[in-house]
Amino acid sequence: MNNNKINLLDCTLRDGGYYNNWFFNKELINEYLKVMDMIKIDYVEIGFRFLDKAKIKGPCAYSEEKFLRSLKIPKNLKIGIMINASDFVGQKNIIDLAKKNFKKKENSLISLVRIACHHHEVKDVLPLVNWLKKSGYKVGVNIMQIPELSSHEIKSVVKEIKKTKADILYFADSMGSLDGTRTKKIIYQIKSLWKKSTGIHTHDNMGKALENSLAAINNSVNWIDCTVTGMGRGPGNTKTENLILELNRKKENLINLVNLIKNYFEPLKTKYNWGSNPFYYYAGLNSIHPTFVQEMMSDPGFDTDDIIYNLNNLSSVGGRKFSKELISLGKNYYRKINRGDWEPANLLKDRNVLVIGPGSSIIKYKKKIIKFIKKNRPIVFVLNAIDPIPKRYVHANIVCHTLRLLSDIDKYKKTNKFLITPFSSFSKNIKSRIKSKKILNFGLQVKGNRFKFEKNYAVLPNSLAITYTLGICTSGLCKKIFFAGLDGYNKNSPKKFEMDDVLQNYKSEKQARKIVSLTPTNYKIKMIKI
């Protein structure tokens, strides 16, 4: 283990603020500061100092002196903040801007200012680094996404920072893609030119944040970032509680940290659900910005299939820089009108339809459902590739999500049933993989909250299999739609509310068919006993 002095910087309130928009209550902040002092954390990064105050954010987004003076900051605990180079780059006079937003150190409670930079921004912030240093602050320059840089680019950045009076050169594993070997290599490249302090900021996309932090320590990096419970953008960071144990920092005060976590941070984690998962791991492997995952996971409009499908696309188009536009495109895959060549009225006109969903109620009511089919002889559709009832009763499977289609392609090939899908929307590659299947090509367009039913396609508010099925049945002029196994999400789920809205909007359409559920459901659908 490195015998040099290790400076631990806890940036929970700064990096964790991406989840709650930097609204931490003072009780939590004061208790957090007290515990950080007890476990001998050297610096606490209290938050950002964003320059744009037009948007409503919590006090840790701005870290103003007035706010800092309202806190109970322990005497020996040093306070740091972070600024974004992008707030200064391109401004007419960045020094005037700095003077407007910073007091001299002697009039401030802030000890450390870190500047978060992309490699192409470094040259432009060199004067800012020197001004902050001249004003009395310890200054760190954080190079973001450094694993994505070439050796030449890394050395070029280091040479530029050497021209300044910066105290610390930090490198950030923004995508969470590092491993121990790559960490050592980057450190070697930096230290071949930089002889002052170095630091590392890790992300836990692939579960290697602690491993990379320890690898850095063992290779003479002496500034290490961490956060309580790993709270931070996307999957989070090296956990403070794990790092202090590895470094033997004040184990006797561990109980205080555990209580802090239990009383304040566990409820936050339950609410915001940070931490690594297969989506973040995939993103780390493919150098995709973790905010893509964070945004999709927090948006009820994205289900599991959508997230995987979009990550797969991002890995090919490039997702290193977060873009809301790319998110919106992923959400609206069927944004163009794609007319099919199958008219469902030829099969469904004046017929009852039974739609079988994936809910567990299918198992419980299986015998009664089969009895219903035998007695009423409806057209039976099954959503996706589920197999809850004997195939002899099924007319067709319905699937509209490309990833779901491809993941279950072997199942579809083994059955002689028709597959209803928006075939016209698919790429040549996907079409070639299912060309031998008996396809009923019904078109789909996703557009706002609209419903429109045409002979061979429908305009719908989303591309969920249930909504697509409503489009098929309505365009097909069926008599009535029965559902079974449409159990629904729990009562407080955003997805439930979304689906209830879809169903309500559908019912208001003139062409809407009567909808009935044969099994218990959480959705606002009339249920009949069978």
| Domains of the chain by start residue, with CATH | 7-271 (3.20.20.70), 278-331 (no CATH), 345-527 (no CATH)
In this prediction, what percent of the chain has a pLDDT beyond 70?
Answer: 92
pLDDT value for 332 = 47
Give the total residue count for the chain. 530
For the ranges 57-66, 75-84, 384-393, which has the lowest average pLDDT?
384-393
Contacts of 492 (CB under 8 A, 6+ apart): none
DSSP string spanning 464-513? -HHHHHHHHHHHTT-SEEEEES---S-TT-HHHHHHHHHHHHHHTSTTPP
CB 474 within 8 A of CB 482: no
226 or 275: which carries more pLDDT confidence?
A: 226
User: pLDDT of 512-524, one tens digit each?
Assistant: 999 999 999 999 8
Distance in angstroms (rounded) separating the CA atoms of residues 513 and 503: 11
User: pLDDT of 146-185, one tens digit each?
Assistant: 888 899 999 999 999 999 999 999 999 988 888 999 999 9
Distance in angstroms (rounded) separating the CA atoms of residues 2 and 133: 28
pLDDT value for 436 = 65
The average pLDDT across 267-295 equals 84
Q: Which of 149, 147, 141 is nearest to 124 (CA)?
A: 141
Residue 32 falls in which region: left (phi positive, over 0), alpha (psi -120 to 50) or beta: alpha
The average pLDDT across 88-95 equals 91
Which band of pLDDT confidence, cut at 50, 70 and 90, is reported for residue 84? very high
pLDDT value for 78 = 98
For the ranges 102-111, 269-278, 511-520, which has the lowest average pLDDT?
269-278
Check pLDDT > 90 for residue 330.
Answer: no
Q: How many other C-beta atoms lie within 10 A of the C-beta of residue 135?
A: 18
Q: How many other C-beta atoms lie within 10 A of the C-beta of residue 488?
A: 20
Calculate the average pLDDT of the chain: 89
Which band of pLDDT confidence, cut at 50, 70 and 90, is reported for residue 318? low
DSSP 136: T
The average pLDDT across 35-58 equals 93
How many Å is the Cα radius of gyration of the chain?
A: 28
The average pLDDT across 70-78 equals 97
pLDDT value for 291 = 82
In three-state secondary structure terms, 516 is: strand
Amino acid of residue 488: G
Check pLDDT > 50 for residue 392.
Answer: yes
- The per-residue b/e assignment along 85-109, b for 16 or more CB within 10 angstroms, e otherwise, is bebbbeeeebeeebeeebeebeebb
